[in-house]
Structures are given as C-alpha cells and as structure tokens.
Chain A
Amino acid sequence: MSNIPDDFHFTPTHEWVRVDDNGVATVGISEHAQEALGDIVFVELPEPGTEIAARAEVAVVESVKAASDIYSPVSGEITEVNEALIDNPQLVNTAPYDDGWIYRMSVNDEKDLDELLNAEAYADHCSDE
C-alpha cells in the first residue's frame, strides 16, 4: 500500500476526500478500490446542485466485474462532476488520486472529516481486509 497521499482523508468504504484552501472537497476512490474492481467501464455521476448527506449513495462505479456504490465521505452540495469520466472511465484506474476524481462538493461541516481515516489508518484498514 504505497503512495497514499497524506493530505487525503479516507472512508472505510474506500472513498477519498481532499479539501482545498477554499473549502472545496474533491472525492474519488482509492488505489486499493480501483485495483479490486478491475477495469472500470462506466461511472454514473451525481447531478451538480444535489445536497448529499455523509455516507449516502452518491455515484456508481461499474467495472467489467462488478458495480460499486460510492458513498459521500462528507455532507454538502455537489458543485462539479468529472465529465472526462463519461468518455474515459478508465481514468479512475490509471489516476485514482488525480485525473480520476469523481465529483467536487462544498463541505457543510468540517467535523465530518474527523470521522474519516488518515492515510496511515486507511493503509492499516486495507491490510486488515
């Protein structure tokens, strides 16, 4: 479990979130998750403007092998989705922490982040699975 960016927060269900200086959160799935899913063929993106609660289903990632629901790590409003994934869903495989991001959102309550795992705790979580 190498190269987990240390300014990211993780959920036990393998989403990541990174909050930038303007308070905008970017969400994706982890390297571990994309590796387990295999080649991703569709990403069902949320609608911008949607209010979403922490741990609610927000998107779907379908690989050749399986469909996987994506749960929002924090609560807030969807502000932007990664439209590049419509034509190129494999970005989630090739760059899960970068070009393979799924959506951006505002954060209602920064305390939601305290519930999440840091990189080290997430790596431990993955190795326990």
Chain B
Amino acid sequence: MMGIHTCLFDRHAAAGAKIVDFSGWDMPLHYGSQIEEHHQVRNAAGVFDVSHMTVVDVAGADAEDWLRYLLSNDVARLEAPGKALYSLLLNHDGGVVDDLIVYRTGAGYRMVSNCATRRKVLIWLVQNSTGFAVQIEERPHLAMMAVHGPDSISLACEALPADTIESVRGLGNFESLEHGDLLIARTGYTGELGLEVILPAEQAGALWDKLLTAGVKPAGLGARDTLRLEAGMNLYGQDMDEITSPLSANLGWTVSRRDEDRDFIGREAVLRHKQRQQDGELPILAGLVLEARGVLRNGQQVLTDKGEGVITSGSFSPTLKQSIALARIPKGSRNCQVELRGAKAPLKIVKPGFVRYGKRIFE
C-alpha cells in the first residue's frame, strides 16, 4: 500500500533511497548506507527530509496564555520573536502526550511535533483550547528539512537566499529568523551544529537541490535515529510516553517552575512524581554502554544491583563503534548487566548522552 509522500519523495526515489513506512508516510531509511550517512553528519554535513513532522501555527490574543497552560516549558521565556524552546505536552496524570519545539514568530507561535502522534496532538490542542482566544492552524503544505553537521551552516549559506546569510550565521542555538515564507532555525535532533528550515512545499525541491550542489549529502531516518541516540535525545513512543513521568525520561528540565504561580496541564501530577522521585520510587532514564561485542535492542531487560530495568532505545553507535542504549533503571543503580545470547554482559551506566559535536562526552 502506498503511503503519503513528502514533496521531496521523487528526489529520494531517484537517489536510490530505501523507502520504508513511517507512520503512514513513505520515508527514506537510507540512500545506501545509514552508517556512512551518520558519519557524514558527524564529520561534514547531511540533510534530512523531515516534512512528515506536524507543523501547527498558533495566533490570537491568548496565544501566550494558552501555551503557558498547555506546555510543560514556559513560553514566557521566549521574550521576542526569533526564540525557541523544547517542551512537552503533558496530560493531567503527568504523562507525555508528545514532545515538540515551539518557535516564537512574528505572527505568534509555531509548534513542530511528531508525525506518529499527529492526530492525537491535533485533537489534544483543540480539546484544551476551550475558553482561550486562539487560532490553531495545522500547516500541512509546509515542508521541512534539517541540515546538520560541522559544515552545515557554511554550506547552507551557499543554498539559502543571499540576503539571509548574515543573519543565519549570527543565529545562536534555539534562535530562528523568518524571511518571507521561510523559517530558519538553529534547532535539531543530532547533537551537531545545524539548521532546520521550514518552507512552502513548492520551494523545497529547489533548496534541496542547492544544498546537494553545495556538497551537503542526503541522510535518511536510519542515521537520524543513531545520531539522536548518540546525542542522548529521546524518541517519543520509545523513551517517553503517556504512562511514564517526564522525571523518569530525563525530562524534568522541560517542566518549568520558573513561575511558581503558572497553572499548566500536568503540574500537580509532576509535583507528586517529584515526591515519589525523592522517595526513590521513580526509575531514571540512564545511558548504557556495552563494552562487549553485540548490539543492545529496544525492549531488552537489564538487571542492576537495585532491580530490573528495560532498554527503551538500543542500537549501535557508529561514532563510538560499540553499542549504546537509553534504559529505564532503578534510581541509584551502580552496576548493570544484560543477557546477550545466553551470556551475561556488563554494561557501563552513564548520563544519557554519548556524543556531542563529534566527540565522546562520557567518562
């Protein structure tokens, strides 16, 4: 059965991409070798088509108040257009409905959330907007691409409109600029320098072609997953979900208590989780490193000195050339092992984050 195509699909197919179903979309898994694409992003620059992501614009007199109620992080921190932050959508039990980036724009706010959660999130937004003067508009005709890697910005500047280049070079992390229909932001999901560009679908092909001409190489969702795992970034549905506290997903930092009086969905529940965490009852999300040969896989059980745990994302790290994982394990665990093919293999417990800017970041 044919899935939904992004506006760049024909280019992926022509480039020989292996196309896989991703929540109803036909997306490129790789263009030959996902490991080569991974190294390309760590060492030079790669571009991902992420047009399957859900883009929603929010405007209206109550836009800020509504988002302060809706999101775990506090959009009052975005003091001017051109600022962005990472946030969760929590439910009333403090579970995670989705994770997203919200950009403050000239016209209001733009949220970019996951593809697999699209329908659920759109319903959640509408259901929780009662009483607020806001306009919520999905933008399905926008395309999005992520250009990442140490050379990404200099190469992207050869492809982007000439009059944006100076501003693009001046962007800090989590800053964005608007240029006509383009939103260009220093955000991403790889642990490398880079940009995400949101633009009308009919302009996307031309930008993609110019990026490739400049020397950026296409990278698929396979490399995107190993890059984000090395960076210690969570994937919705694996490392976080509706029944897991953000405090057990290494996401306590996204629940802003900068304004103690702010009322937001999930606030009371997370306060309760905090108590349970202090009592040692909540597990943590940790990083695991396998020092033996083999590959850790999602769903594998692990055993620590404090009890059982489970791998939420496991794969092979092309940068480190060994297997790494995110795992939910009892707080205070000091050692950990996994059963691989009938033998117990020791795992090193580290903070969730393995590689940043091309370099190993754990001891």
B33 touches A41 (CB 8 A): no
- Nearest neighbor of B37 in chain A, beta-carbon distance: A39
CB atoms of A67 and B295 under 8 A apart? yes
Q: Does B258 contact A (CB under 8 A)?
A: no
Contact of A38 among B222, B293, B294, B341 (CB under 8 A): B222
A83 to chain B minimum Cβ distance, whole angstroms, is 14
**From residue 212 to 269 of chain B, which have CB atoms closer than 8 A to chain A?**
222, 226
User: How many interface residues does chain A have, given as a range?
Assistant: 10 to 19
Pair A62/B294 contact, Cβ less than 8 Å: yes
Q: Mark contacts of A45-78 with chain B using CB atoms, 8 A cut-off: 1 yes-contact digit, 0 otherwise.
A: 0000000000000001010110100000000000
A65 neighbours in B (Cβ, 8 Å):
222
Interface residues on B, range: 10 to 19
Docked pose: A42 CA to B35 CA in angstroms: 13
Check B294 against A64 for contact (C-beta < 8 Å): no
| CB 8 Å contact bits of B196-219 with A (1 = contact, 0 = none) | 000000000000000000000000
Q: Nearest chain B CB to A127's CB is how many angstroms away?
A: 17
**The residue from A38, A62, A90, A93 contacting B295, defined by CB atoms under 8 A apart:** A62
Contact of A42 among B29, B30, B295, B315 (CB under 8 A): B295
| A44 sits at the interface (CB 8 A) | yes
Contact A39 B295 (CB under 8 A): no
- Given known A-B contacts A64-B316, A90-B35, A41 and B295 have beta carbons under 8 A apart: yes
B118 adjacent to chain A (CB < 8 Å): no
The reply to whether B34 and A39 form a contact with Cβ atoms under 8 Å apart is: yes
Give CA–CA (A62, B294) in the complex, Å.
Answer: 7
Q: Is B274 an interface residue (CB 8 A)?
A: no
Distance in angstroms from B47 CB to nearest chain A CB is: 19
Whether B222 and A42, one on each chain, are in contact in the complex, defined by CB atoms closer than 8 angstroms, is no
- Which listed residue, A44, A60, A64, A90, touches B315 by the CB 8 Å rule? A64
Q: How many A-B residue pairs have CB under 8 A?
A: 37
A63–chain B nearest beta-carbon distance, Å? 8
Residue ID in chain A nearest B316 by CB atoms: A41
Question: Which A residue's beta carbon lies closest to that of B297?
Answer: A67
A93 touches B33 (CB 8 A): yes
Q: B299: shortest Cβ distance to chain A, in Å?
A: 13
* Complex CA distance for A65 and B295, rounded to whole angstroms: 9
* Cβ–Cβ contact B35 & A64, under 8 A: yes
Residues 276-328 (chain B) with a chain A CB within 8 angstroms? 293-295, 297, 315-316, 318
Chain B residues in 8 Å Cβ range of A93: 33
Question: Which residues of chain B from 2 to 28 have any CB-CB distance to chain A below 8 Å in the complex?
Answer: 18
> Which residues on B sit within 8 Å (CB–CB) of A67?
295, 297
Docked Cα-Cα span, A38 to B222, in Å, equals: 10
Q: Which of B30, B35, B318 has the most CB of A within 10 A?
A: B35
Chain A residues engaging chain B, CB cutoff 8 angstroms: 38-39, 41-42, 44, 60, 62, 64-65, 67, 90, 93
A-B contact sample (19 more), CB < 8 A, given A38-B34, A41-B316, A64-B318: A38-B18, A38-B29, A38-B30, A39-B30, A39-B33, A41-B295, A42-B293, A42-B294, A64-B35, A64-B222, A64-B226, A64-B315, A64-B316, A65-B222, A67-B295, A67-B297, A90-B33, A90-B35, A93-B33
